[in-house]
Amino acid sequence: MSSTSNQLNNPVKDEEFLYRGIIDINWDLKNNRPSSAAFKDSKGVSVDRSANRDDKESIEFLKEKKSFFAICKIQTGVARGIGAIVKYMPLDDNIYHSEIHDSTQRAQMQGSKPRKLRDRSELVYFKNS
């Protein structure tokens, strides 16, 4: 882990944004939005915290990882507002990596929360748009 990660505040601030890439197979063509299935990982929902970056920098960083069909963002305080837990969990190759957990007891998102995350997210990148 680089020393830069040590410069980030460990708790993610409510004002920060959390970015998530969406691939085409999880895009809901009928309603022109991501399916809530895109917010169901085995260990919570992996996201990148914005830290001190703007949209452009955060999007470019994510696009280096994979050719995403779309990228959306949600404010940390909004995710916490639906009862989700946001944890900063940096990886060797991604100092911004964080996870959204269902609760303090369970990492996996279930029931209404994935849909609420989707509905409160804002689309910030659409491929070739």
Between residues 10 and 42, which has the closer beta carbon with respect to another protein? Answer: 42
Write down the least CB distance from residue 21 to another protein, Å.
6
Using alpha carbons only, how large is the chain's radius of gyration in Å?
A: 14
Token pair 């399916």 in the structure block, residue:
35
From 57, 55, 54, 50, select the one nearest 12 (Cα to Cα): 50
Q: What is the contact mask toward another protein in residues 35 to 74, using x (rule: CB under 8 A)? A: xxxx-xxx---x------------------xxxxx-----
Q: How far apart are CA 12 and CA 87, in angstroms?
A: 7
Q: Name the residues that contact another protein, by CB under 8 A.
A: 21, 23-32, 35-38, 40-42, 46, 65-69, 108, 110-112, 115, 127-128
